[in-house]
Amino acid sequence: MDVHFPLQRWRLNHVISLERVSQAQVAAFLRKALGLRFFHNLYNMRTELIYTEQE
């Protein structure tokens, strides 16, 4: 189940909405959070599995 991209999309839509209603400080904080990954450990494990399969 792909959860990461819908959550990122929701974050982006939320930031855009806040920018429209001029919550500049909150929007700036959330815009920084757009680069954060959900489930960081799963991303690391996925990367390890991909490289293991290629060897």
**Domain ranges within the chain, ordered by starting residue:** 4-54
Low-confidence ranges of the chain (pLDDT < 50): 1
pLDDT value at position 33? 76
Output the pTM of the full model: 0.48
Can you give the pLDDT at residue 45?
Answer: 80
Beta carbons of 4 and 38 less than 8 angstroms apart: yes
pLDDT, residue 23, reads: 67
Is residue 32 within 8 A of residue 10, CB to CB? The reply is no
Average pLDDT over the chain, rounded to whole?
A: 76
